[in-house]
Chains A and B, each alone.
Chain A
Amino acid sequence: MALAEQERPATLVDDPIPVALRLRPAQREGLHERFAPSDPSPGWDLTARSPRLARLVKSRRFQFFLILPNQIVFWTVIFVGLFGTVVPGLNFGTAITWYVWFCLVFVMMVVVGRAWCSMCPFGGFAEWVQRRTFWQRTQKTLGLGWKFPEPLARYGFLIPVASFVLLTWIEEFFNIAGPGSPAYTSWMVVGIVSSALIFFLLFERRTFCRYICPLSTLIGTVGSMGSVAGFRTRDREVCLSCRTKDCMRGSEKGYGCPWYTWPGSADSNLYCGLCSECYKSCPEGNVGLFVQKPLTSVVAPKRRRADVAWGIAFLWGLVLYQQVNATNGFASADSWLNRQLGFPHYPDPIDYIGFIVLAALATAGVGRLMATAFASRSANLERPGNFLDRLSRFRSFFAPMAYGLVPVVGADYFARQLPKFLQHATRVVPALAHIGGFSSVRSPIYSFSIMTNGWIVFTQVAVVVVGTMAASWSTWKIAGRELVPVSRNALGVRLATVGFVLACGAAAAVLYVMMHAAD
């Protein structure tokens, strides 16, 4: 092809090089099909509707002031946990972390997506150190700036699942959230912030948040139910003809996306950390903060990622474990296994990992069954490649199905956190007062419960039912869009996948009733 005939980008006139650059044209085939389903409506651009919000988000101090209050709480948790009272319920560190914070994070996820990531004190603190500034855009950085190695990065969102499984095991083993000794909570927080700091100093951008953080996949997947679409492009054509990609590389106004996300191709809120750097740095003002209908990021994205699908399966296994472990039968099985293996106490790592892996494999097994039962023989569903790129009949069914399961998984995690919140959330008040030496366990607020046990179980089951309904709707839509075209039996595949989701929801609900019985 003669180079002179090729595309001359719009930015050419601005380039300090006055002679010709001969960039090839960007590929645009399939653009509409790929992004139309997941693109939020132009009218739902909050920054376009509210100049006040636009001004707020454009300010470099925006994220700093989101992080700051959490940072104060976080250091208070560490100090009070280490040096405060050993009574867990009266220790602010324990009370705020396990009775309130975890539950609130779930509410935020379900509504906003990665809101927590934008205000997280762990990543926030480490990022301040890495950038050597609280909010300014500077060129100074601290650390080595390595890239996360490809052999690991190809497992994408699966690594955070592994670290979440590990952290949960540690939490169960030391009975940190039990709640056990408040100092354990402090040490756990110190451990997380230390590892965040190490990763931020070794690697570039938010490698820790994207590849390591125990909560990353959970927040990302559960958050995809949320109504905030994140920072997206206003006009994709502007992004495609942009030759500088300030949102990715960083400009004088903002850093390049710390999350490795390009607003020009974002199809879900899963990868958007809501840090607003792209909004600040776009020279064309072509980025907006969009809202969307709930569940859009579950249902609409065309690309289904294997790491996310497997991640959902493992997270499902983990939450099921957290339900099953509260039943009488499991407690005896765990004790028996510990005696056989000489392991000191609950939770035995073999049954812990074993259960999670089996549950994930069972979920995948259902996907395989669906593929065997319904896959059309004429559909070309094979593509070789590494873990992330491979396509197969199994994956063509398993991945969409796993995405459809997200609302059940999310609801189940949320329901699992509810008892602590509903029984003990008010303890935050005496715990806070206790820092000043004003309170004791005799305070009426200390023993106040928002609900009785019976109501709590009812609420838990209700949450799971709502999640299951959302998952059934999502699965019905996903199956209709993605499975029907590659299936022999359109109605059959939709009914079967929705049936699976209903079964999962029912299992979770039944387990809550059983847990209550065990109590």
Chain B
Amino acid sequence: MTLAEPLTTERPHAEQPEPGCHVTILTDRCAGCQECIVRCPTEALHLDPARWVVVADDAACAGCRQCVRTCPFSAILVDGPVQVGPRAVLEATHPSTLEGDTAELRPGFGSLAEAEAEASRCLSCPDPTCLRGCPAHNDIPGFIAAVAAGDLGQAHEVLRRTTVMPDICARVCDQAVQCEGACTWSLAGGTPVAIGALERFVADHAPVPPPRVVSDDAEGLSVGIVGSGPAGIGAAFELVSRGANVTVYEADDAPGGLLRWGIPAFTLPSEVSGRPWRQLQEAGVDLRCRSKVNPSDLDGLLERHDALVLAHGAGLPLRLPVPGADLPGVEDATSFLGRAKAALAEGRPLPDFSELSGRPGAGPPVVLVLGAGNTAMDVARSARRLGARAVCVDWMDRRFAPVRTDELEEAEAEGVEVRFATTLRSLEEVDGRVGRAVLSRTVQRRAGERPEIVKGAGEVQAVDVVVAAMGYRIDPEFAANLPGTPVRREANGVPDRRWQASGILANPAPAFARHRPVGRLALGRETALAVSALPFRERTWVAGDALVGPSTVVEAMAQGRQVARAVVKARPRRPGQSPDSRPLRVLVAYESLGGHTQRVAEAISRELADRLGPVTTLPLERVGPAELANCDLLVVGTWVEGFVVAGVGPAKTTRRWLEGLPRLPGKRVAIFCTYGVSPKATLPVMRRTLEAKAATVVTQAAFGPREAAGAGPFGTGPFGAAAFAHQLAQRAYPERVPTLLVD
């Protein structure tokens, strides 16, 4: 890959130079750890070897403050404005006649030169925060550098490593709280690179290629995917490219899920949203539409497929908790958007709208949209295109509403009346259908605070149609069958140091990201992405909204791909199929204080490596969902905490780790401990906790002081590591390990 030279720090308007930046290194605290040096995009930092502290070259500093966010000891200060030119402005077009219009509104870059100019604003950060902000982890500096070099083919090549829907994501992603919100310029208080627009330019000018088989990792594997939305598409692309036989079950009569019915054509044209499925069907994916899968059908599907990927989404609308919610004329956003999209595509009005406006003396029908998020905007703008008057009400304050700024502006420009800090109290009937809405004002002082309803008589709004667009939820029947779902997108505990080191967590709420905590949100998404690699039932994985509740297209796609990779790695086989003969992957996880447990863990690892296959040995704190997903057999070892007889049990760290584990249905686990006086209830406690997580504990052992200190009969004695490993291997995989006669 050839990348452009590190990009410009020059401003296009050189006639009015802004002051440069001044970097202050606090040499009292600078420990010379070089965290800043290895991450500085412009090589403005170096090390003074005599003092072993960092020195800065002000002339080379671009003011991105990556160093400030990265320094573990806060030993760097940067003064001065960010040294970057203005961001390209791509104004949305406004149709001259709104009614019936389905043309795409937001333009892309008009020419390669425009795209190159924007691309030149990218600093190609060595530890790019945008990449962490992107739920799919697109190599953003990589593809932008290719754009800057004018090589769109290469840009596409870079993008397709991590995404199968650049054309769609570029149009529907809320970049301000994802990649662009996490751009180093944004974190530094400036305006980020227009990453979304550049991605779209690449996707529009070098069409996304169809899936091609790149490896045979999954050959012979039959995978059933439930749902054909973004998560299903992500999983299907990945599985097809690995050679799996993929069958997709879609309840609707056409594939695409939310892409098809949830996003209007003026945001996502049909030819773009239909592209993935055209390609997947050409690639041989067995698509079965009108095949609704109920939780009771899962066992049957598992008999037909080696693995199941549940990507059925979270399509149940939240119920309206007000009187009058069941009146005729009240519907949910899903049904309205589906009707509206079909009507607009066919160029016909909605029958109920025609009927309403046809009443004597009636004006255009009034559509009250409950909610002011992105779905609500889509509903309101569709209603406007169908000749209605649209009023959105949302109980949040305008400052904190989770709506894209551009989308809100466009909606208002199209005549949508958006009333924030307003909530619906009740709906009243007029002439046999909904006719009046009683609204109340609310007050919200801080983001995250629940708005308070202002007491009073309320305001009456005449309405003809009410559309609830407050959000969706997971089908509770499915969730009950998948214990552990929905997964919370929250990162608890000490944040991953690699994320801290990148600096994405250092600016908690950049202005460009509407003061949303981009780093924390991204880390939360990462937690769910990692968990998605683990099966929730035997041979059953979950991805997308079905896993985390209502989320975004790109996040669902990324989870779908992750799940597909996990399926390929695990290679599950349905009963009756020939067993898998590849080497098993063993993970030995230990909690050690003085090194005894570590030594025993290492001895067990050596023994298991001889018997089963590659073994990874890691301390507990480094074992996360990704590591758990990547092993067939898990061995957990701990030291025994407690005072001789009082409070004896597994070390607290181990206990906390075990309790924090996700469900491990069917995972084979072995446990051991090292003790000084007596292990007492250590192993039963560990066993109980693991069994509560649906894991299968195959064997256990306690190593006394002699064995743990190395003086004991390692490898030879009946209680040594060799005997433990052998017993474990034999119980977990009897077909692979011959019986050993111990004399």
Check A19/B1 contact, CB under 8 A, given A30-B50, A245-B501, A260-B29: no
Check A17/B131 contact, CB under 8 A, given A6-B126, A23-B39: yes
The answer to whether A252 touches B621, judged by C-beta atoms less than 8 angstroms apart, is: yes
Q: What are the interface flags for B37-61 relative to A under an 8 Å C-beta threshold, 1 for contact and 0 otherwise?
A: 1111001001101111000000000
* B498 partner residues in chain A, CB cutoff 8 A: 11, 14-17, 243-244
CA distance A156 to B594 in the complex (A): 36
Q: Is A506 an interface residue (CB 8 A)?
A: no
The answer to whether A244 touches B74, judged by C-beta atoms less than 8 angstroms apart, is: no
The answer to whether A307 touches B52, judged by C-beta atoms less than 8 angstroms apart, is: no
* B139 partner residues in chain A, CB cutoff 8 A: 19-20
Q: What are the interface flags for A243-283 relative to B under an 8 Å C-beta threshold, 1 for contact and 0 otherwise?
A: 11110111111001000111011010000000000000001
Nearest CB of A to B77, in Å: 6
Q: Is A27 an interface residue (CB 8 A)?
A: yes
Which B residues between 51 and 104 are near A, CB-CB below 8 angstroms?
Answer: 51-52, 72-75, 77
* B37 partner residues in chain A, CB cutoff 8 A: 24, 26-27
The answer to whether B34 touches A27, judged by C-beta atoms less than 8 angstroms apart, is: yes
Check A23/B497 contact, CB under 8 A, given A248-B33, A262-B33, A283-B622: no
CA distance A155 to B1 in the complex (A): 48
The residue in chain B whose Cβ has the minimal distance to the Cβ of A305 is B28
The answer to whether A54 touches B594, judged by C-beta atoms less than 8 angstroms apart, is: yes
Q: Is A18 an interface residue (CB 8 A)?
A: yes
* A261 partner residues in chain B, CB cutoff 8 A: 31
CA distance A31 to B32 in the complex (A): 11
Q: Is B739 an interface residue (CB 8 A)?
A: no
Q: Is A517 an interface residue (CB 8 A)?
A: no
Check A240/B34 contact, CB under 8 A, given A52-B594, A139-B494, A147-B74: yes
Which A residues between 36 and 69 are near B, CB-CB below 8 angstroms?
Answer: 51-52, 54-56, 58-59
The answer to whether B126 touches A248, judged by C-beta atoms less than 8 angstroms apart, is: no
* A54 partner residues in chain B, CB cutoff 8 A: 594-595
The residue in chain B whose Cβ has the minimal distance to the Cβ of A254 is B494
The answer to whether A307 touches B501, judged by C-beta atoms less than 8 angstroms apart, is: no
Nearest CB of B to A11, in Å: 7
The answer to whether B35 touches A245, judged by C-beta atoms less than 8 angstroms apart, is: yes
Q: Is B496 an interface residue (CB 8 A)?
A: yes
CA distance A35 to B47 in the complex (A): 14
The answer to whether A248 touches B594, judged by C-beta atoms less than 8 angstroms apart, is: no
Nearest CB of A to B179, in Å: 13
Indicate which residue in B6, B38, B496, B529 contacts A26 across the interface (CB closer than 8 Å).
B38
Indicate which residue in B38, B49, B594 contacts A55 across the interface (CB closer than 8 Å).
B594
The answer to whether B494 touches A23, judged by C-beta atoms less than 8 angstroms apart, is: no
Nearest CB of A to B570, in Å: 18
* B500 partner residues in chain A, CB cutoff 8 A: 244, 249
Q: Is B493 an interface residue (CB 8 A)?
A: yes
Q: Is B572 an interface residue (CB 8 A)?
A: no
* B141 partner residues in chain A, CB cutoff 8 A: 3, 22
The residue in chain B whose Cβ has the minimal distance to the Cβ of A55 is B594
The residue in chain A whose Cβ has the minimal distance to the Cβ of B77 is A150
> When A and B form their complex, what is the total count of cross-chain residue pairs whose Cβ atoms lie within 8 Å?
169
* A243 partner residues in chain B, CB cutoff 8 A: 38, 498, 501
Q: Is A382 an interface residue (CB 8 A)?
A: no
* A256 partner residues in chain B, CB cutoff 8 A: 72
* A1 partner residues in chain B, CB cutoff 8 A: 6, 43
CA distance A84 to B131 in the complex (A): 65
Which B residues between 122 and 150 are near A, CB-CB below 8 angstroms?
Answer: 124, 126-128, 131-132, 137-139, 141-142, 145
From B32, B124, B145, name the one whose CB has the most chain A CB atoms within 10 angstroms.
B32
Nearest CB of B to A218, in Å: 18
The answer to whether A251 touches B39, judged by C-beta atoms less than 8 angstroms apart, is: no
The answer to whether A245 touches B38, judged by C-beta atoms less than 8 angstroms apart, is: no
Q: Is B593 an interface residue (CB 8 A)?
A: yes
Q: Is A481 an interface residue (CB 8 A)?
A: no
The residue in chain A whose Cβ has the minimal distance to the Cβ of B622 is A283
CA distance A19 to B1 in the complex (A): 13
Nearest CB of A to B423, in Å: 35
The answer to whether B493 touches A252, judged by C-beta atoms less than 8 angstroms apart, is: yes
Number of B interface residues at 8 Å Cβ cutoff, please give it: 63
* B124 partner residues in chain A, CB cutoff 8 A: 3, 22
Main secondary structure of the interface of B (DSSP, over half): loop
Check A265/B32 contact, CB under 8 A, given A23-B126, A283-B622: yes
Q: Is A518 an interface residue (CB 8 A)?
A: no
Q: Is A389 an interface residue (CB 8 A)?
A: yes
Nearest CB of B to A271, in Å: 9
Nearest CB of A to B511, in Å: 22
Q: Is B27 an interface residue (CB 8 A)?
A: yes
Q: What are the interface flags for B516-550 relative to A under an 8 Å C-beta threshold, 1 for contact and 0 otherwise?
A: 00000000001001100000000000000000000
CA distance A18 to B27 in the complex (A): 35
Nearest CB of A to B359, in Å: 58
Nearest CB of B to A515, in Å: 37
Q: What are the interface flags for B473-503 relative to A under an 8 Å C-beta threshold, 1 for contact and 0 otherwise?
A: 0000000000000000000011011101100
Q: Is B172 an interface residue (CB 8 A)?
A: no
Indicate which residue in A18, A59, A251, A262 contacts B137 across the interface (CB closer than 8 Å).
A18
Q: Is A107 an interface residue (CB 8 A)?
A: no
Q: Is B161 an interface residue (CB 8 A)?
A: yes
CA distance A6 to B126 in the complex (A): 9
Q: Is A388 an interface residue (CB 8 A)?
A: yes
* B526 partner residues in chain A, CB cutoff 8 A: 16
Indicate which residue in A16, A24, A388 contacts B496 across the interface (CB closer than 8 Å).
A16
* A239 partner residues in chain B, CB cutoff 8 A: 33
Nearest CB of B to A161, in Å: 14
The residue in chain A whose Cβ has the minimal distance to the Cβ of B599 is A51
Indicate which residue in B50, B145, B497 contacts A246 across the interface (CB closer than 8 Å).
B497
The residue in chain B whose Cβ has the minimal distance to the Cβ of A54 is B594
Q: Is A519 an interface residue (CB 8 A)?
A: no
The residue in chain B whose Cβ has the minimal distance to the Cβ of A205 is B73
Check A29/B49 contact, CB under 8 A, given A150-B24, A245-B501, A256-B72: yes
The residue in chain A whose Cβ has the minimal distance to the Cβ of B527 is A16
* B40 partner residues in chain A, CB cutoff 8 A: 24
Check A307/B35 contact, CB under 8 A, given A147-B74, A243-B498: no
* B39 partner residues in chain A, CB cutoff 8 A: 23-24
Q: What are the interface flags for A185-204 relative to B under an 8 Å C-beta threshold, 1 for contact and 0 otherwise?
A: 00000000000000000001
* A27 partner residues in chain B, CB cutoff 8 A: 34, 37, 46-47, 49
Check A21/B593 contact, CB under 8 A, given A260-B29, A262-B31: no
Q: Is A153 an interface residue (CB 8 A)?
A: yes
Indicate which residue in A21, A29, A262, A303 contacts B128 across the interface (CB closer than 8 Å).
A21
The answer to whether B26 touches A16, judged by C-beta atoms less than 8 angstroms apart, is: no
Q: Is B737 an interface residue (CB 8 A)?
A: no
CA distance A303 to B32 in the complex (A): 12
The answer to whether A24 touches B126, judged by C-beta atoms less than 8 angstroms apart, is: yes
Which B residues between 1 and 46 are near A, CB-CB below 8 angstroms?
Answer: 1-3, 6, 24, 26-29, 31-35, 37-40, 43, 46
CA distance A384 to B230 in the complex (A): 59
Check A154/B28 contact, CB under 8 A, given A52-B594, A248-B33: yes
Check A3/B126 contact, CB under 8 A, given A16-B498, A24-B37, A153-B29: yes
CA distance A266 to B728 in the complex (A): 45
Closest 8 CB pairs of A and B: A55-B594, A30-B49, A244-B497, A248-B72, A262-B31, A156-B28, A27-B47, A19-B139
Known: A20-B142, A150-B26, A389-B27. 14 other contacts (CB 8 A): A3-B145, A17-B137, A21-B131, A24-B43, A58-B593, A150-B77, A243-B501, A250-B494, A251-B494, A252-B493, A261-B31, A262-B31, A262-B73, A283-B619
Residue ranges of A at the interface with B (Cβ–Cβ < 8 Å): 1-4, 6-7, 11, 14-27, 29-31, 33-35, 51-52, 54-56, 58-59, 137, 139, 147, 150, 153-154, 156, 204, 239-240, 243-246, 248-253, 256, 260-262, 264-265, 267, 283, 302-303, 307, 388-389
17 contacts between A and B (CB under 8 A): A3-B3, A15-B498, A16-B530, A17-B131, A20-B142, A21-B126, A22-B124, A31-B49, A33-B49, A51-B595, A139-B494, A204-B74, A244-B498, A244-B500, A246-B497, A265-B33, A389-B27
